Structure 1
Amino acid sequence: MNKQQLAAKIWQSANQMRSKIDANEYKDYILGFIFYKYLSDREIIFAKKVDYSDEDIKSLSEEDIEAVEYFKKNIGYFISYKDLFSTWIKMGKDFDVSNVRDALSAFSRLISPAHKKLFDGVFDTLQTGLSKLGESAASQTKAISDLIHLIKGIPMDAKQDYDMLGFIYEYLIGMFAANAGKKAGEFYTPHEVSLLMSEIIADHLKDKKEIQIYDPTSGSGSLLINIGKSVAKHVDDENNIKYYAQELKQNTYNLTRMNLVMRGLLPHNIVTRNGDTLEDDWPYFEESDPIGSYNPLYVDAVVSNPPYSQKWDSDNKDADPRYASYGLAPKGKADYAFLLHDLYHVKPEGIMTIVLPHGVLFRGGEEGVIRKNLIERNNIDAIIGLPSNIFFGTGIPTIIMVLRQKRERTDVLIVDASKGFIKEGKNNKLRACDIRKIADTVIKRKPQPKFARLVTRDEIRENDYNLNIPRYVDSSETTESWDIYATMFGGIPVKEIDELNKYWDALPGLKETIFSNISTDYAELKADELKHTITNHLSVKTFVDSFHQSFAGFDDFLKNELLANTESVKVNSEETVLSEAIFSRLESIPLIDKYDAYQILDDRWNVISVDLEIIQTEGFSANKAVDPNMVIKKVKGKDQEVQEGWVGRIMPFELVQETYLKNELKQIKEKEQRLLEITSGIEELFDSFSEEEKEGDTVNEAKDSFVNAAVGKEAKLLKVEEKKNGVFEEDTYEAKILKVDKLIDEQKKLNSQVKAETAKLHGKTKKTIEELTDEQVYELLELKWITPLINSLNNLPGSVLLQLVDKVQALAEKYATTFADVMNEIDKTKSSLALQIDELTGNEFDMKGLSEFKVLLNAE
């Protein structure tokens, strides 16, 4: 199973196991054990790398001083064999909570002095929280045993180390945050926001060979890691990126360290601090070597998502170099204190991005003073308004502010990205196309109507340094207007037709084919079959042909990029290569939004990239591998994991069947279709029964379906009677029962056949995958990766034309019925009703009432 599937499975199981423990606390336990497994596995991998045999590893103990020092020197710590994660698993029923306490205690003693800051106290939260996993040692042991068996399946051998642990770690953090509300959400930046900030920073740093990045409110460390991954796309050596992190809360600080370590970063590239960023700033130095370790910390990029509007102590901070030139944030809102802290640590040519509440753009007082100074000192590069409800635990509107120490331009790019998102549960989520569009807009500083605008400093001054986004960018939907003349007399206003000018400009002559002018200001629809008229117009055909010509050979390009280089393609940067190829082909094509095409690519890339990671880490043979399909099922009232057949590690069974086992699949599909027809036939016969007939034994108590056994029993008797007296007449109760019985018999036989043939096909598919030739593998990869992408891209022109059809149709229908038509219809209805009233009879009072009703209808 791939890493997404494994992560989802661990989350599902962990959530079931969690019981009454708060999600935010339980997170610390499961993630702590994952980290301990990582360190244990890493020690074993290193031991085997330096030629330790399995027996040598079993003899590792704290008493072997030479071995202890050797491991500490090379990996920074030492774990005895008895304390390894894998040993706990092997202990079975002999495992006890005391084994964990002893192991964690030993780990803290056996850290290399050079790695003390990185590992010291990293398991404190886990160690002190073990007692919360149960009321007794026995219950604690069971809970821990369940946990370690849950995560034991995470592979960490050399073949499968494609950031598996790191991915699962971040996935779980995100899921805990999403399900635990503000408590967990306050330290987690959604991946999409993190990715947006990363792309902006990475582009700014793309030409640097050595890079330092810093997060002063690092939380789980995920934001810092995503920045690093984006920056790594542009550098030759990922080891030239150095990570600095500071976090106030001890348990969250531990998350930062665990997360960074598990990404395989070199220990000397990780510098972390546990402390209050606003109170305990750098310079940093070791007390044992204050001169040699002194570091004032000026970095290439700072990124942060600080706690919003937090209280802070601004007393005696006037002379603090972070704030002295700009002003002090109010005590009740530390937002600008965090921003100024970040800016202070940016090198002159560096960049920073920070997530803040929308209020920092317009609040007055001390914040207004700081905002003015930032603008006058030319520090604010861009402001991005994000959708609401994008962060876990808070629905308040947020922004990303991009700042620099040194800028040549004096304008500010203001982007209103609040409208681009997809709804996911209670939260809104940026899509890949939204992220790319925002990042491109910021990087290229490209104004766009209703989305982004370059605002001069003079205009900001005129607005008294208020940066509220709606003052500068109006992203609201255009209010629909109604033409009073067209409403009364009909016709379509030419000015409303002209609102579709982007289509008319791109498709010359189409407007004249669709509409004919009634006057200079009004037109009417002259095309009877609108869709047919549009799709068959010469300019439309030219547009579609131009698209297909532009993308001619794109499938060959994809084959060369992905199939010819399957084991060497750079997964982290290949999507960018493909997107640029798509964008360049769309440059001369009007109407098609390149970000729609990018979303199509990204949707497919989520599948392709996972497959590529597996192939590159496990080898080409992974294409021919199948794995047990494990599912959770109730067994004797308890959830248990059981195997239900097989799944291809990369190759979907259905794709293999559709390609190489068509006949077998077709036969099953035909039988399944016949089963649907039988079900429909039985339902029709049931519906034809009278209420009296439904009272018999052949119908269940709920009166909604047949009782098969009773139908069979009665049909048996009817067949005997039929032999004696002849065939029952059509549509009689007896004839229907015999039909139902026949259908039920056929249904049973077909169900049995489908089950047997499906099982046989499943086994044959497994064997087919395992025996695939290399040529067949490439054919299947093309069908899985490239064909769906090409097909989706080829649908783009059709989607654009359907939008045009809908818009024109809506415009025509808008004024199709005039006010006069409505009044005429009302008059007709009144007249008709009055005539019907004349036909009514009644007593004296009835007739007086009806007469008055006719007066009200104005029908006299």
Structure 2
Amino acid sequence: MNWNNIWEAFPKLYDELFEEINSDYVKLKSEDVSSLLESNGDIINFKVEYENAFRDFDSYLFSQLIENVAEVKLASEEEILAQDIFSRLDSFKLIDKYNAYQILDDAWVDISGDIEILQKESFDSVLIVDPNMITKKVNGKETIVQDGWVGRIIPFDLVQSTILKEEKDKLTKLENRLTEVQDLLDEIISTLSEAEGEYDVLNDSNDKFVLKDVNGELSELYKDIETIELTALREYVALLDSKGNKKEKIDFISNHPEVNWSAIPTNASGTYNKTDVMKYILSIQMNYKFPEGSFASKLSSVVVLLEEEKELKKKIKEGKNQLHELTKITIENLSDEQANELLKLKWIDPLVESIRKLPDVLINEITKKISSLQQKYAKTFVEISNEFEDSKENLVGFLDELTGSEFDMTGISEFKLLLNGDKNDK
């Protein structure tokens, strides 16, 4: 990068950035180079002027490529657009025109391909969706099959992020919640103790819960739950198993008000069947609050999360299918205004955005170079020389403390003379 060009383009930049700069020393007014550059008046004006130069660039492209799509000459249109960009860049010498051209050339690949289809097949091609054919194994053989639909010109994702944004957001919300649920399950796994046999509810890889094993373990833990109501209910079940008569059942019921009998369906005789009682017992167990952090408490949470995960996956699958079909219908029924807007979003907006970011790319490059310069000259020659002298003095001090044979001491003495050679030469 030519620094002279930078100082010419941004005359205040030197004064605002540096306190001092020469071949041996560089000192910035702030370590935050990025903030200094962003607040520099010349750079602010530069970016404003650049923005003004490209203010109508998107409307120019809209006219050239969309409103007059039938008249576009593919062999020469890219050069016409390039010349327009170059003319807008004439007063911005620091911006590399070839960077701008590369952005145009990359975008032109897709734009020209779409325009070619539109010119050959008419503008109605925007409304066409084609079968999305993929290769997959069917009965062990590679087979070409249809997997949904794909827009001939307009991508499904673009329609879903604009016209169908509300529907897409609902699906995204479900997907985000699914991720949260899976993270919570992973978090619980991380708290399990293999030594205490808690890994028995996991798969062979110990990274997923197995619902059957979780329910089995919980069933055993439920048996250990003891409350006054559960004790009475179990006694009632024992009475049913022993074929107690109607009077015994009614007497038992009236003598145990601790049981919420109204929560259990009654039979014709005014008593309660074993099946209904067992269901009520299970509901009590499932709603029982185990001690926080206990294995049972974790498994209770796991069951709830696994059920939610299952339901979310079902809703997401259905939602994706519905959104895909709705997208197909939407594309096939686009108005001319909607079609033009989608073409603008696909062709023009990304190109314009990239062109408009070129000043930021330049400023980032300047920031990196100045930061590199600061690091290179972070220490002056004087500072380095002083550190070297201090290190020599420390080393000589350590050598003075050493003891040894006459031969060793002679060697140490010679080494000290070498370290202090500059002083001895004076």
Matched, 1:566 2:69: yes
- After superposing the two structures, state which structure 1 stretch, 714-723 or 505-514, moved more: 714-723
CA distance in 1, matches of 2:202, 2:74: 60
Residue in structure 1 matched with residue 163 of structure 2 by the alignment: 660
Tell me by how many angstroms 1:770 deviates.
0.6
Aligned positions of 1:468-483 closer than 5 A: none
Shift of 1:643: 0.5
The amino acid of 1:652's aligned partner reads P
1:777 paired residue number? 339
Distance in structure 1 (CA, Å) of the matches to 2:297 and 2:315 = 27
Distance 2:76 2:370 in 1: 42
- Alignment match, 1:87: none
Q: Distance in 2 between matches of 1:738 and 1:786?
A: 54
Matched, 1:728 2:298: no
Aligned equivalent of 1:528: 31
Number of equivalent positions: 334
After superposition, the C-alpha distances for 1:764-793 in whole angstroms (9 at most, x for unaligned) are: 110011111111111111111111111111
Q: Partners of 2:147 and 2:391 in 1: how far apart?
A: 65
1:548 counterpart = 2:51: yes
Could you tell me which residue of structure 1 aligns to residue 101 of structure 2?
598
* Corresponding residue number in structure 1 for 2:371: 809
- Equivalent residues in 2 for 1:128-207, closer than 5 Å: none
Q: Distance in 1 between matches of 2:158 and 2:390?
A: 58
Residues 776 and 743 from structure 1, CA distance in 2 versus in 1: closer, same or farther, beyond 3 angstroms?
same
SS in 2 for 1:696: helix
Shift, 1:648, TM fit: 0.4
SS of alignment partner, residue 201 of structure 2: coil
1:127 paired residue number: none
Matched, 1:615 2:177: no
1:452-489 deviation line (CA, Å, top 9, x unaligned): xxxxxxxxxxxxxxxxxxxxxxxxxxxxxxxxxxxxxx
Residue 627 of structure 1 aligns to a residue in which SS? strand
Q: Is the 8 A contact 2:171 2:316 kept in 1?
A: yes
Structure-2 change in CA distance of 1:741 and 1:505 (3 Å): farther
TM-score of the two chains, using structure 1 as the length reference = 0.37
Query: 1:747 pairs with 277, 301, 309, which one?
Result: 309
Cα drift, residue 824 of structure 1: 10
Query: Distance in 2 between the 1:638 and 1:753 partners?
Result: 32
CA distance in 2, matches of 1:823, 1:699: 62
> How is 1:138-537 mapped onto 2 (pairs within 5 angstroms)?
500-517=3-20, 522-537=25-40
Which residue, 685, 689, 706 being the options, matches 2:188? 685
1:630 aligned residue (114, 127, 133): 133
3-state SS in 2 of match to 1:644 = strand
CA–CA separation in structure 2 for the residues paired with 1:821 and 1:648: 70
For the aligned residues, what is the CA RMSD?
2.8
Give the distance between the partners of 2:385 and 2:292, measured in 1 at CA: 56
Q: What is the match of residue 796 of structure 1?
A: 358
Deviation at 1:683, TM superposition (A): 1.7
- Which residue pairs with 1:670 in the alignment? 173
How far the C-alpha of 1:800 sits from its partner, in A, is 0.9
Give SS of 1:588's match: coil
Cα contact 2:25–2:377 (8 A) shared by 1: no
Rounded Cα–Cα distance in structure 2 between residues aligned with 1:602 and 1:693? 63
Structure 2 CA distance, aligned partners of 1:720 and 1:764?
50
- Structure 1 counterpart of 2:129, one-letter code: V
Structure 1 partner of 2:322: 760
Give the C-alpha shift of residue 820 in structure 1. Answer: 6.3
1:419 match: none
Q: Specify the alignment match of 1:651 in structure 2.
A: 154
CA, structure 1 residues 510+637, in 2 after alignment: closer, same or farther (shift >3 Å)?
same
Inter-partner Cα distance in structure 2 for 1:551 and 1:740: 57
Taking a change above 3 Å as real, the CA distance of residues 691 and 562 of structure 1, as seen in their structure-2 partners, is: same
Q: Deviation string for 1:267-293 (max 9, x for gaps)?
A: xxxxxxxxxxxxxxxxxxxxxxxxxxx
Q: Please report how far the alpha carbon of residue 719 of structure 1 lies from its aligned counterpart in structure 2 after TM superposition.
A: 5.7
The one-letter code of the counterpart of 1:801 is I
Question: Cα gap change, 1:519/1:692 in structure 2, threshold over 3 Å: closer, same or farther?
Answer: same
State the SS of the aligned residue for 2:69: coil
1:816 to partner: Cα distance? 2.6
**Does the CA-based 8 Å contact 2:130-2:150 persist in structure 1?**
yes
Q: Does the 8 Å CA contact 2:132/2:146 hold for their aligned counterparts?
A: yes
Q: Which residue of 1 aligns with 2:231?
A: none
Residues 17 and 28 in structure 2, CA contact (< 8 A), matched pair in contact too: yes
Alpha-carbon distance, 1:689 to partner:
2.1
In 2, Cα distance between the equivalents of 1:680 and 1:819? 52
Name the CA distance, whole Å, in 1 between partners of 2:133 and 2:390. 65
- Report SS of the residue matched to 1:513: helix
The 3 A distance-change label for structure 1 pair 525 and 642 is same
C-alpha separation in 2, matches of 1:820 and 1:700: 65
Contact 1:697 1:707 survives alignment (8 Å):
no
**1:565 alignment partner AA:** N
Residue 738 of structure 1 and its aligned partner are, at CA, apart by 2.1
Q: Does 1:640 align with 2:202?
A: no
Please give the TM-score of this superposition, normalised by the length of structure 2.
0.72
Question: CA offset at residue 576 of structure 1?
Answer: 0.8
Change beyond 3 A, Cα 1:570–1:684: same
What amino acid is the match of 1:741? V
1:609 CA displacement: 0.6
Specify the SS of the correspondent of 2:145: strand
Gaps of 5+ in 2: 226-283, 396-411, 417-426
- Give the AA of the match of 1:742: V
Structure 1 residue 598: Cα displacement: 0.9
Amino acid at match of 1:532: S
CA deviations over 1:400-447 (Å, ceiling 9, x no partner): xxxxxxxxxxxxxxxxxxxxxxxxxxxxxxxxxxxxxxxxxxxxxxxx
SS in 2 for 1:659: coil
Q: Give me the whole-angstrom Cα distance separating, in 2, the residues matched to 1:519 and 1:775.
A: 60
Counterpart secondary structure, 1:508: coil
Amino acid at match of 1:543: F
1:641 partner SS: strand
**Structure-1 separation of matches of 2:194 and 2:391:** 43
Give how far 1:691 is off: 3.3
Distance 1:560 1:519, change over 3 A: closer
- CA shift at 1:825, angstroms? 11
Distance of 1:804 and 1:679 partners within structure 2? 44
Deviation for aligned residue 1:619: 1.0
| C-alpha distance 812-578 of structure 1, shift in aligned 2 (>3 A) | same
> Does the CA contact (< 8 Å) of 1:608 and 1:785 recur in 2?
yes
Q: Compute the displacement of 1:801 (Å).
A: 0.7
State the alpha-carbon separation in 2 of the partners of residues 748 and 608 from structure 1: 43
- Matched AA of 1:813: Q
Contact map agreement 1:718 1:738 (CA 8 A) in 2? no
**What letter matches 1:531 in structure 2?**
S
The question of whether the paired residues in 1 share the 8 Å contact of 2:203 and 2:209 is answered with yes
Per-residue CA distance 1:328-353 (angstroms, 9 max, x = gap)? xxxxxxxxxxxxxxxxxxxxxxxxxx
Paired residue type of 2:320: T
For 1:848-859, list aligned pairs within 5 A.
none
Q: Structure 1, unaligned stretches of length 5 or more?
A: 1-497, 831-854
The structure with more radius of gyration: 2
Amino acid at match of 1:732: S
